[in-house]
């Protein structure tokens, strides 16, 4: 009881790392995932092939294995040796999450009727402009619900980093329960509520985006 009750900052600090991991990987995954989706639907066969292979390999690999590759295997190849743990965590989570973002966005792209892209090409827009001006703005609307799920999963997946020396919420929780075994229920519930708050904020964001974009359709 003493630790949490006396020092609420302990919990907030723990979640600060979680939030950093989630936000940074989330943004990076959105960018990388969008690029991958554009490759998969684009006219360049090599890139489309690359996107497909990337998604099938990464999606079939457990997140824990990707963490092992980034934190343990990469340094044996002299890669990422001096990279801070937080950045390594972001890299691992981004590699993993971008595959799911890619598929969510591809679903959105497929929901935009082919005629929209044809009309864009017909007025002389290049593939890139067709995507950024016409297809993606419409695709993102259809993408909000699945993308929210992917990002919520990401927020919770940050807990895997606990096993790799990152003092995010789950790692701190484990430390606290070790030192205060009598209070473990209180500690569990406090941290559960922390995750719930993060996820609820994200859900609310998704709902308001959906609502805002629905009006202009």
Partner 1 sequence: MTEPLVVLDHVDKWFGELHVLQDINMSIARGEVVVVIGPSGSGKSTLCRTINRLETIDKGTITLDGKPLPAEGKALAAHRAEVGMVFQSFNLFAHKTILENVTLGPIKVRGTDKAAAEKQARQLLDRVGVGNQADKYPAQLSGGQQQRVAIARALAMEPKVMLFDEPTSALDPEMIKEVLDVMVDLAQGGMTMVVVTHEMGFARTAADRVVFMADGQVVEENTPDEFFSNAQSGRAQDFLSKILKH
Distances (CA, A) of 154 to 18, 92, 114, 160: 10, 11, 31, 10
Among 13, 20, 83, 116, binds partner 1 (CB under 8 A): 116
Instruction: Kindly indicate which of the ranges 93-101, 116-124, 186-194, 195-203 contains the residues binding partner 1, using the contact rule CB under 8 A.
Output: 116-124
- Give the one residue of 9, 123, 178, 185 binding partner 1; rule: CB under 8 A: 123
Tokens 């991958």 identify what position? 36
Give the whole-angstrom CA distance, residue 71 versus residue 142.
35
| Cβ atoms 70, 92 nearer than 8 A | yes
| 14, two tokens | 């723990």
- Among candidates 191, 198, 88, which has minimal Cα distance to 151? 198
Which tokens in the block code for residue 70?
């980034």
Closest listed residue to residue 34, CA positions, set 133, 136, 114, 129: 136
Would you count residue 111 as binding partner 1 (CB under 8 A)? no
- By the rule CB under 8 A, 138 interacts with partner 1: yes
The whole-angstrom distance between residue 112's C-alpha and the CA centroid of its chain comes to: 24
Work out whether 124 is an interface residue with partner 1 (CB under 8 A). Answer: yes
* Comparison of 40 and 141: residue with beta carbon closer to partner 1: 141
Question: Beta-carbon neighbour count of residue 215 at 10 Å?
Answer: 6
Is 121 among the residues that bind partner 1 (CB under 8 A)? yes
Residue 90, classed as helix, strand or coil, is: helix
CB of 116 to partner 1, least distance (A): 6
Tell me: does residue 9 bind partner 1 (CB under 8 A). no
Of residues 82, 178, 181, 217, which one binds partner 1 by CB under 8 A? 217
* Per CB under 8 A, 137 contacts partner 1: yes
- The answer to whether residue 22 forms part of the interface with partner 1 (CB under 8 A) is no
Q: Which of 129, 163, 167, 209 binds partner 1 (CB under 8 A)?
A: 129
Q: How far is the CB of 119 from partner 1 (least distance, A)?
A: 4
- The 145-184 site mask, x for binding partner 1 (CB under 8 A), equals ----------------------------------------
**For residues 61 and 109, is the Cβ–Cβ distance under 8 A?**
no
Q: Contact positions toward partner 1, by CB under 8 A?
A: 43, 113, 115-116, 118-126, 129, 133-134, 137-138, 141, 216-217
């Amino acid at each position: 009881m003493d630790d949490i009750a006396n020092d609420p900052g302990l919990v907030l600090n723990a979640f600060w790392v979680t939030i950093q991991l989630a936000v940074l990987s989330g943004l990076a995954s959105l960018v990388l995932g969008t690029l991958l989706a554009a490759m998969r639907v684009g006219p360049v066969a090599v890139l489309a092939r690359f996107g497909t292979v990337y998604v099938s390999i990464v999606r079939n690999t457990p997140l824990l294995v990707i963490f092992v590759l980034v934190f343990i295997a990469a340094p044996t190849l002299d890669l990422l040796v001096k990279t801070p743990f937080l950045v390594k965590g972001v890299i691992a989570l981004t590699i993993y999450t971008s595959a799911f973002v890619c598929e969510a966005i591809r679903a959105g792209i497929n929901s935009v009727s082919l005629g929209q892209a044809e009309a864009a090409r017909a007025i002389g827009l290049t593939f890139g402009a067709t995507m950024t001006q016409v297809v993606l703005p419409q695709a993102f609307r259809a993408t909000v619900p699945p993308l929210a799920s992917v990002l919520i999963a990401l927020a919770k997946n940050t807990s895997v980093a606990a096993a790799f020396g990152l003092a995010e919420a789950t790692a701190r929780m484990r430390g606290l329960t070790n030192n205060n075994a009598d209070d473990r229920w209180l500690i569990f519930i406090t941290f559960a509520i922390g995750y719930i708050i993060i996820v609820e904020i994200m859900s609310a964001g998704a709902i308001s985006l959906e609502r805002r974009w629905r009006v202009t359709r």
